[in-house]
């Protein structure tokens, strides 16, 4: 089982749709969580951190469920410019901290 | 955007030649990382550094070496490049990280596209 798993997609949605991504992690000692966005042939960029109480940034909402060991990202009112790959990132304490990147979920938003 | 510069941005070279990639940061962050990204594998850690002259291996370190003689520079060397090392290489930095309480996110450079023929 991979330490961090994401649905690879692709997700194809129309403009204005709401789309949700989930990410599961295997290590219950995981400490911090992030969502990154990566455009084609570009570097990953931090989209948002994920806090225990859940957090929102405009159209984006991130949530953490420690009991079930997953994090989620909700995008409301999708824009064409949201088309990208979304990476789930988990910092795990495995007797020494390490950062694990999910393989990413591809999103296509169409007009 | 974080002040991270990777050079070169693109390189084509032949099997068996040495290659050095450079990562330069202006943020004075302690941690620096080298990743490779390949289709179907996502980002994989090659080596990382937690201070000047302090480095450690990641999950795919075979065939690669690194050096960090200054806080701002982290070099990745392929001593004798092979075609399997054709990839996109990303440098990243963070204030805290590997081996510590890694609550700070990593920030990435623009990447280097390396092709080995």
The stretch A97-104 carries a mean pLDDT of 87
* Lookup result for tokens 């291996």: B57
Question: Is pLDDT larger for residue B99 or for residue A54?
Answer: A54
Q: Give the pLDDT of residue A2.
A: 82
> What is the total residue count of chain A?
111
For the cut 60, the answer to whether the pLDDT of residue B90 exceeds it is: yes
Task: Give the mutation candidate from B40, B100, B106 for the A interface (greatest A CB count, under 10 A).
Answer: B106
Residue A104: which of A32, A42, A17 has the closest Cα? A42
Q: Give the pLDDT of residue B41.
A: 81
The lowest-confidence range among A94-98, B43-47, B76-80 is: A94-98
Inter-chain contact A101–B43, Cβ cutoff 8 Å? yes
For the cut 80, the answer to whether the pLDDT of residue B101 exceeds it is: no
Residue B70: which of B110, B10, B3, B22 has the closest Cα? B22
Share of chain A above pLDDT 70, in %: 96
For the cut 90, the answer to whether the pLDDT of residue A85 exceeds it is: yes
Q: Give the pLDDT of residue A53.
A: 87
Task: Give the mutation candidate from A27, A37, A91 for the B interface (greatest B CB count, under 10 A).
Answer: A91
Residue B62 makes CB contacts below 8 A (sequence gap 6+) with none
- Cα–Cα distances (Å) from A49 to A53, A87, B13, B65, B106, in that order, read 12, 12, 39, 31, 11
Q: Give the pLDDT of residue A79.
A: 98
Mean pLDDT of chain A: 92
């Amino acid at each position: 089982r991979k330490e961090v798993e994401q649905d690879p997609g692709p997700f194809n949605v129309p403009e204005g749709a709401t789309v949700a991504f989930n990410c599961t992690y295997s290590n219950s000692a995981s400490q911090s969580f992030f969502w990154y966005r990566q455009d084609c042939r570009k570097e990953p960029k931090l989209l948002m951190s994920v806090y225990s109480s859940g957090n929102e940034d405009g159209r984006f909402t991130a949530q953490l469920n420690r009991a079930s060991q997953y994090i989620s990202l909700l995008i409301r009112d999708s824009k064409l410019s949201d088309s990208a790959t979304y990476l789930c990132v988990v910092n795990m304490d495995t007797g020494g901290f390490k950062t694990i990147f999910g393989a990413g979920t591809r999103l296509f938003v169409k007009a | 955007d974080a002040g991270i510069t990777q050079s070169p941005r693109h390189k084509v070279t032949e099997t068996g030649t040495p290659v050095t990639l450079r990562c330069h940061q202006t943020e004075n962050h302690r941690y620096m990382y080298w990743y490779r990204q390949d289709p179907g594998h996502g980002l994989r850690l090659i080596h990382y550094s937690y201070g000047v002259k302090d480095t450690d291996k990641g999950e795919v370190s075979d065939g690669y070496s690194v050096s960090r003689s200054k806080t701002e520079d982290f070099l990745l060397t392929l001593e004798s490049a092979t075609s399997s090392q054709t990839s996109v290489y990303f440098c990243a930095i963070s204030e805290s990280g590997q081996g510590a309480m890694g609550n700070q996110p990593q920030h990435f450079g623009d990447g280097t596209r390396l092709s080995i023929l």
